[in-house]
Structure 1
Amino acid sequence: MTKELGYIDISRIYSYVEGMGVEFYDVQVEIVDHIASVMEEQMNMNPDKPFKEIFDATLSTFTDFDGLVNEKRRQVARQYNRYVFQSLKSFFSWPKIIFILMLT
């Protein structure tokens, strides 16, 4: 029988990830899923080991999420810039430019 993490354990991992400065929800979900998978694997490999030890040992290996957060910020900035450019491009289309010139 395989051991699985419960809701409370997953909530603890979410709190840890959020406390480490990961503000994007989709990045949090991926990190929590990865940590939970590692913890469940450790729990199944070492069933006699206390949960607290597995929890602490696993979280101690996941300490730096700055690279993931910075990459997500770059993605969001690129997407924002793309939306702004598309909006400006659609605003300054030929019929609108002619209309603005006629008004002025």
Structure 2
Amino acid sequence: MNRQITQEETEQLFQFCRRHYVYHYDVQIELVDHLATAIEGQWEQNTKLSFDEGLKNSFKKFGIYGFSKIKSQKEKELRRKYNRLLWHFMLDFYRWPKVITTFVCTLGLFLLFQLIEQSRWIILGYLVLLTVGTMFYYFGIHIKTRLKIKPGKSFLLADQYNRASQAFVLVINLPNFCFHTFNLLDSHSIQNTWLLLGLSFFMVAFSVLLYGQLFYLPKKIKEHFIEQFAEFAL
């Protein structure tokens, strides 16, 4: 029977990963699996090979930057995965039946632009509302519902959660930026019907995107974390 990695040797592989600056537990799991498979593959060819020699040979295959490359690859995979989820979430609002709500909101905003002459103040009011709402989300909702992990381990998936739920940082600077921008514009320059229609579409789409970024995506990541690492969640 071919020799297999023991529980004690598995723990040594985790320690080996930590010594080589891989601190995220979910990345360590993947690396340990790669190393264990490689070592057991060597034992099939040479049963007398020691664990340390097998580990040394397996590590050589990763190269100097092998571990960091796998970490980077894992980060890219997570970003692509959750970017796709966010994109599909947003597209759902432009498919039946949610498209009705999206259409009504866009049309309502466009009619508001038609009724109010100073369109730029609608935009600034919208941005201020976004900022206030986002800050309320962070201090009133996010802090209470955030992903909580037992101390002692870090996770790449948890980092992804933090990036997804902290989009408010981008929003809080929008009103100040837009105020200075629109002060430079003539108020009549944004009365074009097609421009206002496009602006209405963009504002509604951005609202959907922000909602997905702040609520939908963190919720999904939290669910996936609990599915994979329930023993580490608080």
Indicate whether the TM-score tops 0.5: yes
* Alpha-carbon separation, structure 2, partners of 1:80 and 1:14: 25
> 2:71 is matched with which residue?
69
Paired amino acid for 1:82: A
* 1:86 equivalenced with 2:168 (yes/no): no
Tell me how large the CA RMSD over aligned residues is.
2.8
- Tell me the number of residue pairs that the alignment of Structure 1 and Structure 2 aligns: 90
- Gapped regions of structure 2 (runs ≥ 5): 80-156, 168-209, 216-234
* Deviation of the 1:82 alpha carbon: 3.3
- Is 80-89 or 42-51 further displaced after alignment? 80-89
Secondary structure of 1:65 counterpart = helix
Q: Structure 2 vs 1, CA of residues 2 and 79 (structure 1 numbering), >3 Å: closer, same or farther? A: same
* Deviation of the 1:11 alpha carbon: 1.4
Q: Structure 2 vs 1, CA of residues 19 and 86 (structure 1 numbering), >3 Å: closer, same or farther? A: farther
* Alpha-carbon separation, structure 2, partners of 1:80 and 1:5: 35
> 1:53 is matched with which residue?
53
* Deviation of the 1:26 alpha carbon: 0.9
Deviation string, structure 1 residues 4-60 (Cα, Å, up to 9, x no partner): 111221111111111111121111101101110110111122113333322321223
Q: Structure 2 vs 1, CA of residues 80 and 72 (structure 1 numbering), >3 Å: closer, same or farther? A: farther
Under a length normalisation based on structure 1, what TM-score does the superposition of the two structures give? 0.65
Paired amino acid for 2:67: F
Consecutive aligned runs of 4 or more in structure 1 exceeding 6 Å deviation: 87-90
* Alpha-carbon separation, structure 1, partners of 2:22 and 2:40: 22
CA contact (8 A) 2:164 2:214 kept: no
- Gapped regions of structure 1 (runs ≥ 5): 91-104
> 1:39 is matched with which residue?
39
Secondary structure of 2:49 counterpart = coil
